[in-house]
Chains A and B, each alone.
Chain A
Amino acid sequence: MTTPLAEVASSPSTLRAFLHGLPGVDRVGADARAAMLGTRSIKTTAKKQAIDMAIGMVDLTTLEGADTPGKVRAMCAKAVRPDPADSSVPPVAAVCVYPDLVATAVEALAGSGVKVASVATSFPSGRSSLEVKVAETRLAVAAGAAEIDMVIDRGAFLAGDYLKVYEEIVATKEACADAHLKVILETGELATYDNVRRASWLAMIAGADFIKTSTGKVSPAATLPVTLVMLEAVRDFLTATGRKVGVKPAGGIRTTKDAIKYLVLVNETAGPDWLDPDWFRLGASSLLNDLLMQRQKMATGRYAGPDYFTLD
């Protein structure tokens, strides 16, 4: 890291040299570390703490072609009051919708403190011109989105055109104005952990507030080792620049057990400072009910059936 970070993106070659100069990731070792952290045994008070922490970090998400204002309003109600039977359950961090539904969500969540996030930039493929992506971002922000989840151009990244990816992120960040920018790397398509680390740094240098694993439309989506690599990247980026960036694994996290594994990973990789909805989110929709069910189990000692939890 001899080039000052501000000049790293001054040309395609300096950017390339910087990204390829990052320490490599040994896949076997990273997988083993993630698997080891997955065996931490979180019970009793720690589990209770973890469940409430995880609920407060959920980005409740609906990203279907069939989404309607009714569906979004119902989800917003759930976001504010996840368990109607228990007012001690904290609200989730945000709801995440397509740009055309932002206004509906903003209205439904007014005054609740739950943020509205929107996937812009030709989600989920990212295959459009920069003008279209920026315009879409502006629309979502104008409609009231506090957070923008953008996708990177994986084609450009894999072709080695890092500067194009960089410039798109910079332009989108500018279009975000005050909104937070989460950059989706779509790690399932980047294939190698070396690429995940490079893409993480690329996004952070370009100004991302958050780096996010996946759209949820590509398999594999979030995995523990990929999240481990990203957590190492934000940790090292903070050391190098003094700027803190958040991490959001998304897709495929369905159970409380999985969610707790992610929290352990955060705790022991980036550190406890990241265990906060401002710095760590879980992109999930079906996770919430399992968290509620486990929470109730811990409070009452028994499981209620799935019919005791709402489906919105």
Chain B
Amino acid sequence: MFEYAPAPESRDIVDIRPSYGLFINGEWVEPQGEERHKTVNPATEEVLAEVAWAGEADVDRAVQAAAKAFPVWSAMPGAERAKYLFRIARIIQERARELAVLETLDNGKPIRESRDVDLPLVAAHFFYYAGWADKLSYAGFGPDPRPLGVAGQVIPWNFPLLMLAWKIAPALACGNTVVLKPAETTPLTALAFADICRQADLPPGVVNIVTGAGETGAALVDHPGVDKVAFTGSTEVGRLIARSLAGTRKKLTLELGGKAANIVFEDAPLDQAVEGIVNGIFFNQGHVCCAGSRLLVQESVAADLLEALKRRLGTLRLGDPLDKNTDIGAINSAEQLAKIRELSEAGEAEGAERWSPACPIPDRGYWFPPTLFTGVAQSHRIAREEIFGPVLSVLTFRTPAEAVEKANNTPYGLSAGVWTEKGSRMLWMASRLRAGVVWSNTFNRFDPTSPFGGYKESGYGREGGRHGLEAYLAV
């Protein structure tokens, strides 16, 4: 037996301060309240740092700073703004290893993913939108599209730095200024980004970062000085935000939950489909809003595919996220772990069959083994609700029409995957699936040039690509 010796990435490269303030107007400032929050490494439960919880007064300060910076930043020629964005992108590349380690420590995702997926995409987003900054007149939104003003942005904990990039890069390229609130469990890379803004000599107030939990986010979203709100996170919170913004002049984009179908036809490239299923649901421990959490497999190949999938799951390596050979890292928080457990137990109670590979679970930290449910029906909770964890529900279908029907039979509509070697069927499916992204013989591929967003309860608005500019321009 070939045992891989541990290959841990060194954490010496990151320098985590014991305590962080708020980043407002280009400075680190202390919050007005006393409340602070500890951020922990979910793989070990070790406390990494204390961060401030911004109250209403702090949020007000940040919005004021952004409003003050807006006339300067928006009046700057696009080519000048591009220089700052290119500089930020290059600094991110130079500090990629440090940021990847920091992301893995704070989030629990494997270093293989933060290093090979997150960070390259983060840099690519800044590069891509830097390229747009001086070409806005050619983006199809009229000869002189104007920025909106101050953008209030609230992002989730599953891809902390990548979601920051998706939000900040287009906002700045279009000439807006930003107040960003990272998730309370994963603030560290956003705080490191504050340092990058200083390193890039970004004018004060253009980017402000306030840490905190839901109340901080609510204060930001509701602040009258905010002109545009962008939120990525749960559908539940998205609904609250939509309600509170209704009737105001603020523009809103929401990128919410999903329950994507990954549809495998009998003529699919079987081995690649297995990889795509694994990547679809076990990538980032399933903490992906567009995760392929419902596998729809044609009945004629269901048995073969499941056997191949189970064999493949047996080779997944779960453990220390800083080990370069780890495939599955830790669940981000105790709360999330509890939610995954609760839904999995509901799956069993409702009669679906649960299966996990034999896989040692570390003693400390928050862990959940990769899990399959077979015999799932559309009416089961695990087929309807977003689990946001490494749990795959397997359903079957008989005809292409049934596949489309089942795939669309969800309140969500963020993504879908289709596996077939038949091009005509692929196109037929793609035009009928109500999902923002349809992947063809692949899953969970992202690119800054490609718009991303949802149908129905998965939200509205698009991020990425030329379409992503629209959310930050008066059009």
Stretch at the interface among A5-13, A27-35, A107-115, A184-192: A27-35
Min CB–CB distance B97 → chain A (angstroms): 14
Q: Are A30 and B271 in contact (CB under 8 A)?
A: yes
Most A Cβ at <10 Å: residue of B267, B269, B442? B269
Stretch at the interface among A37-45, A97-105, A136-144, A212-220: A37-45
Contacts of B267 in A (CB 8 A): 23-24
In the complex, A275 has a CB within 8 A of chain B: yes
In the complex, B275 has a CB within 8 A of chain A: yes
Contacts of A164 in B (CB 8 A): none
In the complex, B402 has a CB within 8 A of chain A: no
In the complex, A232 has a CB within 8 A of chain B: yes
| Interface class of chain A by DSSP | helix
Kindly list 11 other residue pairs between chains A and B, CB separation below 8 angstroms, not including A29-B272, A53-B2. Answer: A23-B271, A24-B268, A25-B269, A29-B276, A29-B441, A29-B442, A41-B7, A43-B5, A43-B7, A45-B3, A45-B5
Contacts of B275 in A (CB 8 A): 29, 32-33
Pull 7 A–B residue pairs with CB atoms less than 8 Å apart, ordered by A: A23-B268, A25-B271, A25-B272, A29-B271, A32-B275, A40-B325, A43-B5
Q: Are A39 and B272 in contact (CB under 8 A)?
A: no
Contact (A26, B269) CB under 8 Å given A39-B112, A39-B116: yes
| B324-338 at interface with A (beta carbon < 8 Å) | 324-325
A-binding residues in B (CB < 8 A): 1-5, 7, 112, 116, 267-272, 275-276, 315, 324-325, 421, 441-442
Tell me the count of chain A residues lying within 8 A, CB to CB, of chain B: 28
In the complex, A50 has a CB within 8 A of chain B: yes
Q: Are B442 and A28 in contact (CB under 8 A)?
A: yes
- Once the chains are docked, how many angstroms separate the CA of A263 from the CA of B112? 20
Closest to A267 in B: B2
Q: Are A23 and B269 in contact (CB under 8 A)?
A: yes
In the complex, A254 has a CB within 8 A of chain B: no
- Once the chains are docked, how many angstroms separate the CA of A267 from the CA of B4? 10
Q: Are A30 and B3 in contact (CB under 8 A)?
A: no
Contacts of B324 in A (CB 8 A): 39-41
- Once the chains are docked, how many angstroms separate the CA of A267 from the CA of B3? 10
Contacts of B2 in A (CB 8 A): 46, 49-50, 53, 263-264, 267, 272, 275
Min CB–CB distance B311 → chain A (angstroms): 9
- Once the chains are docked, how many angstroms separate the CA of A26 from the CA of B5? 32
Residue in contact with B272 in the complex, picked from A33, A40, A44, A45, CB distance below 8 Å:
A33
- Once the chains are docked, how many angstroms separate the CA of A272 from the CA of B1? 6
Contacts of B270 in A (CB 8 A): 23
Most B Cβ at <10 Å: residue of A29, A33, A44, A268? A29
- Once the chains are docked, how many angstroms separate the CA of A25 from the CA of B269? 5
- Once the chains are docked, how many angstroms separate the CA of A14 from the CA of B273? 27
Q: Which 5 A-B pairs have the closest CB atoms?
A: A29-B272, A41-B7, A23-B270, A26-B269, A41-B324
Min CB–CB distance B84 → chain A (angstroms): 33
- Once the chains are docked, how many angstroms separate the CA of A39 from the CA of B7? 11
Q: Are B272 and A46 in contact (CB under 8 A)?
A: no
Closest to B278 in A: A33
In the complex, A73 has a CB within 8 A of chain B: no
Contacts of A24 in B (CB 8 A): 267-269, 421
Q: Are A42 and B4 in contact (CB under 8 A)?
A: yes
Q: Are A46 and B5 in contact (CB under 8 A)?
A: yes
- Once the chains are docked, how many angstroms separate the CA of A264 from the CA of B7? 15
Closest to A40 in B: B325
- Once the chains are docked, how many angstroms separate the CA of A23 from the CA of B441? 13
In the complex, A47 has a CB within 8 A of chain B: yes
Q: Are B315 and A268 in contact (CB under 8 A)?
A: yes
- Once the chains are docked, how many angstroms separate the CA of A21 from the CA of B2? 34
Min CB–CB distance A223 → chain B (angstroms): 16
Most B Cβ at <10 Å: residue of A32, A53, A272, A275? A32
- Once the chains are docked, how many angstroms separate the CA of A232 from the CA of B272? 11
Contacts of B421 in A (CB 8 A): 24, 26
- Once the chains are docked, how many angstroms separate the CA of A275 from the CA of B421? 32
Min CB–CB distance B117 → chain A (angstroms): 11
| A154-182 at interface with B (beta carbon < 8 Å) | none
Closest to A197 in B: B271
Contacts of B315 in A (CB 8 A): 268
Contacts of A28 in B (CB 8 A): 272, 441-442
Q: Are B441 and A46 in contact (CB under 8 A)?
A: no
Min CB–CB distance B295 → chain A (angstroms): 16
Contacts of A50 in B (CB 8 A): 2
- Once the chains are docked, how many angstroms separate the CA of A32 from the CA of B117? 13
Residue in contact with A26 in the complex, picked from B4, B7, B272, B325, CB distance below 8 Å:
B272
- Once the chains are docked, how many angstroms separate the CA of A222 from the CA of B101? 35
Closest to B267 in A: A24
